[in-house]
Structure 1
Amino acid sequence: MNEKEIQSFSLETLLTVNEPRPEDLYFDGCLIASRVKIMDTVNIDLFRYPTRLDAFAILFCSEGSISFTSGLRRHTLDAKMLFVFLPGSILQVESIRPESSVYTVIYEEEFIRRINIDIKLLSRLFLSVEKQPCLRLCEAEWAGITGSFAEIRSESLPRPGDVYSPEILRSMIRTLAYKVCRIIGRHIESQPAPETSARSRNDEYFNQFMSELTKHYMQERSVGFYAGQLHLTPKYLTTIIRKTSGRTAAEWIDDYVVLEAKNLLKYSTMSIQEIAYCLNFPNQSFFGKYFRSHTGMTPSAYRMSK
């Protein structure tokens, strides 16, 4: 891994940081992890720190609730809800209510190809719910999902000499993926047709801003730069972003930079000076002041924290 590139973790790399528990199933590029009746109200081991994962992921909550950020947006997943996660987004669990039960399914792209799922279909569906990625399931849908989990768990039990079990598991996991696709499709169909309005135009500007931010935040931190990319004045851009998201453009920019800094400090072997240059700060001192003003910690203190 090139230390100076944006850190993006494969499922295999993630599992070297957070070792699977005995109840987790890792199979050929797919992880199905369960955390049942969790007592830790602060964090769970998976995604404890900001993590950019190069894989498709789906979170399910069967009881309680879990709060997390994805793409710097905060979400709360309640009982009988699922959350869809596109490769390249940054995910971090913030808190979880006691006695909650959460399930995570993570698919590497190569695994999806091996079990003959249409990646274009999966990506298109996930993108369609990107603005509202937390979906509530009806009773029949939830029963179908939990039924698939039970079947997969049963089939994953050791069967020495059974040459058929791996193919059965692939088929079951493929079925689970398509059940999720059907739920997303139902959600899309239930949404009203978009209207052309000032609100929708603002939403479009916000989406363009976020797209530009995703491309350039490691080099550019000024509102003026992003306003120029959208052919707007900095003041007008700030007004639009605040109306649309409740936060200023500068806050979004700072959050992206700080989240990437945390990611590099926690997972890369780069020195703090190298991280400062990677994020286009003039020197380590300037980076340190910036990081501390937004987190209350120095970069070295954050790197040493658990």
Structure 2
Amino acid sequence: MYNTFPKISEFIDSNEGHSFLIWKEEDLFPVLSYPARINFIAIFISIEGVMENEINLQPALIDDTHIQVYTHSHAARILRRSDNFKCVGILFSRKYWESTMLHTHPFNALTRLRPCIEVTSAQRKRLLDFYKIIRSQTQDKGNEYNNEIIKHLIIGMFYELGDIYKENIKKTPKDTAGEALMSNFLELIYKHYKEHRDVAFYARELSLSQRYFTTAIRRASGESALKWIEKYVILEAQILLKNTDMSIKEIASSLNFSDTSVFCKYFKRISGMSPDTYRYCK
């Protein structure tokens, strides 16, 4: 079917009257060695098996105790899929999402930070029940109120999700100081990596001395603050190289490099290959 995330986004955005897509059990995620950006809204629920992936460089999975919810732009890389993995879901355009007014709900901010969330068997069953009703309703072509019925069912499903997020927050142990700093740092990188690649900027934003900041990040994550910044920059470059027709010069400019040669040297130093080589490798 739509075997790449950009194709899914293109399909959803090109269908103004039918701006959502039902993901069925037979629709398989491709296992990719390269990342893609998910710009559509989606919820994925496992039927059986497990899929391991990364979301914004963080490990995640879909199985019988974890679902994934995308309401913001995320960089995703699928790592492994069990042979028996099957999942269902609902995907829709950002325009459709805004028409439901769900983007104003408090849980919308939580899905940005926690796109992968743990669910109980009862919670998973309720979400699957919503999915089945919505899927069935899409086949009722003779009902003049069908679009409104589906929209309100989707709203109900996401309010159920809001309650699941609320319950998860109650059960989640409070972050340690190091975990909280790491979370705040990654959130800042997500917002500023295109403009700021210097560690000093992030230390200032977090009101910390650069020395304390770099030591604390290494202690919390096992990697340097600079390494995390570089990972985000390279991740975005890889997404643009593999999923767009932008030239190397355009990509360098979009990431605020002074010229193409500086970007190419930066990319090769970190990834071990030139942007051109990466673009055409399988």
Fold shared, TM-score > 0.5 on shorter chain:
yes
8 Å CA contact 1:58, 1:105 repeated in 2: yes
8 Å CA contact 1:26, 1:32 repeated in 2: no
CA shift in 2, pair 1:270/1:49, >3 Å:
same
Name the CA distance, whole Å, in 2 between partners of 1:295 and 1:137. Answer: 36
CA shift in 2, pair 1:212/1:162, >3 Å:
closer
Corresponding residue for residue 77 of structure 1: 62
Shift of residue 259 of structure 1?
1.1
Name the CA distance, whole Å, in 2 between partners of 1:118 and 1:269. Answer: 31
1:151 and 2:124 aligned = no
CA shift in 2, pair 1:80/1:204, >3 Å:
closer
Bigger Cα displacement from structure 2, 162-171 vs 142-151: 162-171
Corresponding residue for residue 179 of structure 1: 160
Name the CA distance, whole Å, in 2 between partners of 1:116 and 1:229. Answer: 32
Shift of residue 226 of structure 1?
2.2
Matched residue of 1:262: which SS? Answer: helix
CA shift in 2, pair 1:67/1:31, >3 Å:
same
Name the CA distance, whole Å, in 1 between partners of 2:196 and 2:101. Answer: 40
The answer to which structure has the higher helix fraction is 2
Corresponding residue for residue 238 of structure 1: 214
Q: Which amino acid in structure 1 is aligned with residue 205 of structure 2?
A: Q
Find 1:166's aligned residue among 147, 156, 161: 147
Matched residue of 2:73: which SS? Answer: coil
Shift of residue 107 of structure 1?
4.1
Name the CA distance, whole Å, in 2 between partners of 1:211 and 1:257. Answer: 14
User: What TM-score, normalized by structure 2, do the two folds share?
Assistant: 0.81
Corresponding residue for residue 8 of structure 2: 15
- Can you list the C-alpha shifts for 1:98-134, whole angstroms capped at 9, x where unaligned? 110123333444323434546233324435xx2x543
Find 2:189's aligned residue among 198, 213, 216: 213
User: What TM-score, normalized by structure 1, do the two folds share?
Assistant: 0.76
Q: Is there any run of 5+ residues in structure 2 with no aligned partner, and where?
A: none
Name the CA distance, whole Å, in 1 between partners of 2:122 and 2:262. Answer: 55
1:50 and 2:36 aligned = yes
CA shift in 2, pair 1:15/1:293, >3 Å:
same
Matched residue of 2:105: which SS? Answer: helix
Bigger Cα displacement from structure 2, 60-69 vs 210-219: 210-219
Find 1:281's aligned residue among 253, 257, 268: 257
Name the CA distance, whole Å, in 1 between partners of 2:106 and 2:183. Answer: 21
8 Å CA contact 1:38, 1:98 repeated in 2: no
Name the CA distance, whole Å, in 2 between partners of 1:103 and 1:246. Answer: 36
Corresponding residue for residue 112 of structure 1: 97
- Can you list the C-alpha shifts for 1:195-230, whole angstroms capped at 9, x where unaligned? 8xxx32x33432332233223211322223322333
Shift of residue 254 of structure 1?
0.8
Shift of residue 177 of structure 1?
1.6
Pairs aligned (count): 276
Q: Quick one: percent identity of the two aligned structures?
A: 27
8 Å CA contact 2:41, 2:72 repeated in 1: yes
Name the CA distance, whole Å, in 1 between partners of 2:69 and 2:38. Answer: 14
Find 2:117's aligned residue among 135, 141, 144: 135
Name the CA distance, whole Å, in 2 between partners of 1:110 and 1:281. Answer: 32
Find 2:75's aligned residue among 90, 95, 104: 90
CA shift in 2, pair 1:185/1:263, >3 Å:
same
CA shift in 2, pair 1:27/1:170, >3 Å:
farther
Find 2:198's aligned residue among 222, 233, 242: 222
Matched residue of 1:172: which SS? Answer: helix
Find 1:29's aligned residue among 16, 19, 31: 19
8 Å CA contact 1:261, 1:275 repeated in 2: yes
Matched residue of 1:87: which SS? Answer: coil
Q: Which amino acid in structure 2 is aligned with residue 211 of structure 1?
A: E
Name the CA distance, whole Å, in 2 between partners of 1:39 and 1:292. Answer: 29
CA shift in 2, pair 1:228/1:138, >3 Å:
closer
